[in-house]
Amino acid sequence: MGKELRLFGLANELAVRHRAVSDDLADRTTRAYPCTVPPGTSSAVFAVGYDLAVLVVAGQAVNGAAALGSVVLVISQRPTAIARPLRGPPHPD
């Protein structure tokens, strides 16, 4: 394919078209998702919420409203939840 592009002098035209399509897609994505948060913000919010959940369940266990198994269950979910990759906005079709 590279030989044909060079033979017919289309490499530059293909690069120009690729740049135009890429720029258009970037513009549409920016317009679709104008409000962004700094990287790591969602992880920090999740961590605070998770830690609060652990404290609530531990407090309930101390007061006898929750079993020790409930505390273990909440704590055991942390590695699973944090290991999941955070995904960005869906790609437009």
pLDDT at 39: 66
Do residues 92 and 32 make contact, with C-beta atoms less than 8 angstroms apart? yes
Question: What pLDDT, in 10s, does the model give residues 4-14?
Answer: 777 778 888 88
Q: How confident is the model at residue 89 (pLDDT cuts 50, 70, 90)?
A: low
The answer to whether the pTM exceeds 0.85 is no
**Residue (of 39, 38, 58, 61) closest to 50 by Cα position:** 58
Listed in sequence order, the residues at least 6 apart from 57 whose beta carbon sits closer than 8 Å to its beta carbon are: 66, 70, 71, 74
Q: What is the pLDDT of residues 34-74, one digit of tens each?
A: 666 676 777 788 888 888 999 999 999 999 999 999 989 88
H/E run at residue 34: none
